Structures are given as C-alpha cells and as structure tokens.
Amino acid sequence: MTELAQYLEHTLLKPEATVADIIKLCEEAKKYQLGGVCINPCYVALARHLLTGTGVKVITVIGFPLGATYPEVKELEAKMAADNHADEIDMVMNISAFKTGDYQAVENEIKMVVAAAAPSLVKVIIETALLTDEEKRKACQLVIAGGAQFVKTSTGFAKSGATVSDVRLLKEEIGNAALGIKAAGGIRDAATARAMLEAGATRIGTSVGNLIVAEDI
C-alpha cells in the first residue's frame, strides 16, 4: 500500500451520515490501511469496536463546527470521547473569542480540553479561512501555549479549507516546537495531499482517503 495512506484521516462529519455510512468508512480505512477515521462523537464507540487491532486511529471532533459553545461543554465532550477510547480529538477553538482578542480565554480552553482528553492527543482547529496571516500566527502560538499536539487548518464547513500557503505559514511559525499540522478541507487527490505534506503538514484530513490511495497506487 502507498506510504501516503499513513497520513490520511478518512473523514465523515456530515450530519446526515448513518450507521451504515460509518461502517463503510471504517471498512475503507481498514482496506487501504489509512492512518485514521474522523467521525462525530456519537460514533466513537462504534468506530473503536470496528477498528480495534487494525492500527487505524479513531479521531473525533468537539465544539464542532463553530467552536462557540461553553468551555465546560468542550471539556466534557473531550472526556467522554477519551473514555470511549478515541485516539485523538480535534477541537474547534473559540473563533469569536479569538477575533475579540480574548487570547487568554482561548488558551485556557485549550488547556482544559487537553487535560480532559488525556491520554488522547488534541488537535486545535483554527479555521484559517476566517483569519488573517497575522491571526494564523497568533492562533498557532496559542495552540502551542495550550499544550495541544497539533494545529489543524479547517473544519471543512467554512468558505474554504486548507491551502499550501497556509500550511507553509503555520510550519514557519511553529519552528522547532513539537507541534504537528493537520491540513483539512478540500483535499481530494493525491497531488494535493502530497503538496500539503511537502509544505509541512504531518496529517491530512479528507473525505476521500480511499480514493486518494487507490489513485496513488
């Protein structure tokens, strides 16, 4: 199987996704030896059951897709996901608080989620499509200060998703810090996925992970 597979997080976050859809997603991830599946919290236990022993990670989202709920709700979501054996948790930062300039609130919330999610890893979605370059850099700094393990570009629900230039900018800001980058949103072919990895991404979120790997073989 292509080495690209290990970086791909096969994603299905549509509100209309059914149990049958999630089972199909997990079967595709197993078949193509993808890095993980990213699903809504209500399906974490099912995905864990289907994927235990396969090497495919179970990833879920919290505060999704707006990031505008109470910090305590995100904290509880993170704990419940970890208790259901999610390997990783993608949280949406409070974009409104960030845009308002309440950076301490954003950092504190990340810290709360990181603590609640342990030992699961945490990625923080900063929704790059809504930020200036200066704001992207500041958000990256807050993710590092909050103790998360990854910064993630996008929910896939905004006006646009990941771009190579944004990944490069985040990589530049991170420098030598121990922070991964997940590029997500609009990545639908192997060439784009590889371009993101070459720019500095360490994970790729995509709804067509199976097709990308099949194309790349």
pLDDT, tens only, 130-178: 999 999 999 999 999 999 999 999 999 999 999 999 999 999 999 999 9
Which amino acids are annotated catalytic? 90, 152, 182
The encoded tokens of residue 127 equal 């929704």
Q: Would you say the pTM of this structure is higher than 0.95?
A: yes
Whether omega for the bond prior to residue 119 falls within 30 degrees of 0, making it cis, is: yes
Scanning the chain, the segments in alpha helix (DSSP H) are 19-31, 44-51, 71-83, 95-100, 103-117, 133-146, 164-174, 190-199, 209-216
CA distance 128 to 182: 12
The encoded tokens of residue 163 equal 């771009």
Q: Give the single-character DSSP code of 93.
A: P
The CATH fold of domain 3-216: TIM Barrel (3.20.20)
Please provide the average confidence, as pLDDT, over all residues in the chain: 97
pLDDT score at 215? 85
Rounded to whole angstroms, what are the CA distances from 138 to 101, 107, 125, 149? 10, 11, 13, 16
Domain ranges in the chain? 3-216
* Nearest one of 195, 146, 153, 154 to 170, comparing CA atoms: 153
- Evaluate if residue 65 carries a pLDDT over 80: yes
CA dihedral 128, 210, 33, 202 (to 10 degrees): -20
- Evaluate if residue 93 carries a pLDDT over 80: yes
Per the CB < 8 A criterion, the answer to whether 201 and 167 are in contact is: yes
- Evaluate if residue 97 carries a pLDDT over 60: yes
* Nearest one of 97, 180, 110, 176 to 147, comparing CA atoms: 110
Rg for the chain (alpha carbons), in Å?
Answer: 16
